C-alpha cells in the first residue's frame, strides 16, 4: 500500500500540473533515457496502475503507461520486448521503483516541454519556413531509408 502512495507522490512532485505554469522554454538538461528504459518505465507504471486500481486511482497513471508502451513497442519486436520484460522481472527491486517512476515522469515532462517549444515556434513560423522544414525532414527520411536499404543489402551479401 505504501508503494502506491510513494509513486503517486513522486508523480505529484514531478508531474504535469507544475509544468502548466511554466513558460515554454528549451530543456537545458536532458533526462538520460534509453530504449530499454522505456520498457522499465512501462512496467513500473503498469505496476503502479495495478497498485492504485484498488483505490480507483489507477486511471490517473494509465496515460503514462500508454506513453511508454507506445515507445517500447515501436522500438522492439514482440520477442525482444518479451525478453526485456522477463529480464526486468528478475532484476527489478521494489525499492528502486520510486526513483524509476520519478525518472520516467521527468522524461515525459521533458518531452512535453520540447513539444511546447515546437508549438510556440510553429505559431510564429512563416509558411515558407514550415515548408522548408518539411522538405528537410523528407530528405532526412529518404537518406535514412537509403542507408537502411544499403545496410540490408550489405548484410545479405555477407550472409551468402
The C-alpha cell that represents 149 in the structure block: 536499404
Percent of the chain at pLDDT exceeding 90: 19
The CA angle 35-39-40, to the nearest 5 degrees, is 110
13 & 52 share domain: yes
Range scoring the smallest mean pLDDT among 28-37, 102-111, 150-159: 150-159
Question: Could you tell me the residue range of the domain that residue 65 belongs to?
Answer: 2-19+32-113
Half-sphere exposure of 51 (CA within 13 A, CB side): 17
The predicted-structure confidence for 83-94, as pLDDT tens digits, reads as follows: 998 988 888 787
Same-domain check for residues 14 and 92:
yes
Q: What is the pLDDT of residues 56-76, one digit of tens each?
A: 777 788 888 899 999 999 999
Give the pLDDT confidence score for residue 29 in this predicted structure.
61
Closest C-alpha to 100, from 17, 51, 31, 1: 31
Q: Is residue 120 part of a domain?
A: no
Residues 42 and 83 in one domain: yes
Residue 93 lies in a domain: yes
Same domain? For 79 and 154 the reply is no
In terms of domains, do 88 and 137 share one?
Answer: no
Residue 124 — left, alpha, or beta (φ > 0 → left; ψ -120 to 50 → alpha)?
A: alpha
Q: How many domains does the chain have?
A: 2
**Does position 33 have pLDDT exceeding 80, yes or no?**
yes
Whole-number average pLDDT of the chain: 77
User: Is residue 147, in this structure, part of any structural domain at all?
Assistant: yes
Amino acid at each position: 500500500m505504501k508503494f502506491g502512495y510513494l509513486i503517486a507522490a513522486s508523480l505529484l512532485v514531478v508531474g504535469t500540473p507544475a509544468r502548466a505554469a511554466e513558460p515554454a522554454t528549451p530543456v537545458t538538461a536532458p533526462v538520460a533515457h534509453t530504449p530499454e528504459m522505456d520498457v522499465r518505465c512501462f512496467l513500473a507504471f503498469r505496476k503502479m496502475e495495478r497498485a492504485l486500481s484498488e483505490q480507483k486511482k489507477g486511471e490517473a497513471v494509465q496515460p503514462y503507461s500508454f506513453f511508454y508502451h507506445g515507445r517500447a513497442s515501436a522500438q522492439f519486436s514482440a520477442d525482444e520486448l518479451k525478453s526485456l520484460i522477463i529480464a526486468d522481472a528478475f532484476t527489478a527491486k521494489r525499492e528502486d521503483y520510486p526513483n524509476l517512476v520519478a525518472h520516467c515522469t521527468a522524461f515525459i515532462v521533458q518531452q512535453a516541454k520540447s513539444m511546447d517549444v515546437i508549438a510556440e515556434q510553429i505559431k510564429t513560423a512563416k509558411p515558407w519556413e514550415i515548408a522548408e522544414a518539411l522538405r528537410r525532414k523528407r530528405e532526412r527520411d529518404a537518406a535514412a531509408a537509403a542507408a537502411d536499404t544499403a545496410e540490408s543489402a550489405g548484410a545479405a551479401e555477407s550472409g551468402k
